[in-house]
């Protein structure tokens, strides 16, 4: 795919606050500590540079520049801590925009929710199993909260058990989009349907064995495949129909 060139502008009070040219000017001031030298590096006249800096300062919630006159430091102009945070934020926003455009190019990424769309390019995890779903109900269970999550394609919801504090921190509510994560060893394989709320039928598509580590890939639906660990004393075959289950407390939830 060709390089993506996205010009990000931020407006405050219906006026231009920062754009690529102003950000470049701030970055040059950060490097050299001089407005005049920064203007030269950006190929701007001193007046143009000053006018842009003054326009930013007039609408900025906090000062952007700190001017030192003379002394042992030799004077000069430096960015305030707020301006340095602004530069870091601008970098993050540019990265987000580039990733958003890549999401547009990939027709396999659903655009039904912000979490599902961004997680593909933003999240990396050691957990082999990741599913997206929607909260359907919340229940008190002692000191914990049980969260029922509907995952498209599965016949019944998946129930996760988290603490009350975690539920409040995630600000969970019904219809909210969440990401479920769990490691392969936390899944249990069964040949017969278990008496377990979080159990699903699937077909083994691959078996991987490395010394004491045994893993099976189980396809639950055309688009959902889970990885489960199993003991070396158990013997499974590719194409075999099995059931997989997961304890509610072994499910990690992520939300925006």
> Residue 73's pLDDT is what?
44
Residue of 232 and 56 predicted with greater confidence: 56
pLDDT tens-digit readout, 53-96: 999 999 999 999 998 765 444 468 999 999 999 999 998 888 77
pLDDT tens-digit readout, 196-230: 889 999 999 999 887 677 899 999 999 899 999 98
Q: Which of 66, 74, 3, 77 is nearest to 34 (CA)?
A: 77
Q: 256 pLDDT band (50/70/90 cuts)?
A: confident
Find the helix or strand (DSSP H, E) in which 186 lies. none
Plot region of 120 (φ>0 → left; ψ -120 to 50 → alpha; else → beta):
alpha
Dihedral, 36, 42, 43, 47 alpha carbons, nearest 10: -40
Mean pLDDT confidence for 236-250: 94
Is residue 174 scored above 50 in pLDDT? Answer: yes
Q: Which residues neighbour 236 within 8 Å (Cβ) at sequence distance 6 or greater? A: 189, 204, 207, 216, 230, 242
pLDDT tens-digit readout, 93-127: 887 777 777 767 766 666 666 666 566 555 555 67
- Residue length, the chain? 256
**Block residue for tokens 């007039």:** 58
Instruction: Determine which of 39-43, 107-111, 121-125, 146-150 has the lowest per-residue pLDDT on average.
Output: 121-125
Q: 189 pLDDT band (50/70/90 cuts)?
A: very high
> Residue 53's pLDDT is what?
96
> Residue 216's pLDDT is what?
93
> Residue 72's pLDDT is what?
46
> Residue 235's pLDDT is what?
85
| Secondary structure of residue 249 in the 3-state scheme | helix
Q: 141 pLDDT band (50/70/90 cuts)?
A: confident
Give the chain's mean pLDDT: 86
> Residue 27's pLDDT is what?
96
Cβ atoms of 230 and 236 closer than 8 Å: yes
**Block residue for tokens 């040219």:** 21
Task: Provide the whole-model pTM.
Answer: 0.63
Q: What does the radius of gyration of the chain's CA atoms come to, in whole angstroms?
A: 27
Cβ atoms of 144 and 135 closer than 8 Å: no
**Domains in the chain with CATH codes:** 10-103 (1.10.10.10), 114-254 (2.40.50.100)
Q: 33 pLDDT band (50/70/90 cuts)?
A: very high
Cβ atoms of 238 and 207 closer than 8 Å: yes
């Amino acid at each position: 795919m060709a390089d993506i060139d996205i010009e990000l502008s931020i407006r405050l009070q219906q006026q231009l606050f920062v754009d690529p040219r102003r950000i470049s000017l701030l970055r040059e001031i950060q490097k050299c500590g001089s407005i005049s030298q920064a203007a030269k590096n950006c190929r701007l006249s001193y007046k143009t540079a000053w006018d842009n800096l003054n326009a930013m300062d007039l609408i900025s919630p906090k000062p952007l520049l700190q001017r030192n006159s003379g002394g042992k430091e030799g004077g000069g102009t430096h960015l305030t801590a707020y301006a340095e945070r602004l530069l870091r934020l601008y970098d993050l926003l540019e990265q987000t925009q580039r990733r958003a455009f890549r999401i547009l190019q990939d027709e396999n990424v659903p655009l039904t929710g912000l979490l599902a769309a961004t997680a593909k390019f933003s999240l990396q995890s050691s957990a082999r199993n990741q599913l997206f779903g929607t909260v359907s109900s919340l229940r008190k269970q002692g000191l914990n909260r049980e969260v029922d999550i509907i995952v498209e394609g599965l016949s019944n919801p998946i129930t996760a058990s988290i603490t009350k504090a975690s539920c409040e921190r995630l600000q969970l509510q019904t219809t909210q989009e969440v990401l479920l994560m769990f490691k392969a060893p936390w899944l249990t394989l069964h040949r017969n349907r278990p008496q377990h709320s979080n159990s699903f039928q699937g077909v083994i598509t691959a078996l991987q064995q490395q010394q004491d580590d045994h893993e099976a890939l189980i396809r639950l639906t055309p688009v959902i495949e889970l990885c489960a660990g199993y003991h070396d004393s158990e013997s499974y075959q590719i194409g075999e129909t099995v059931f997989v289950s997961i304890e509610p407390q072994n499910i990690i939830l992520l939300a925006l």
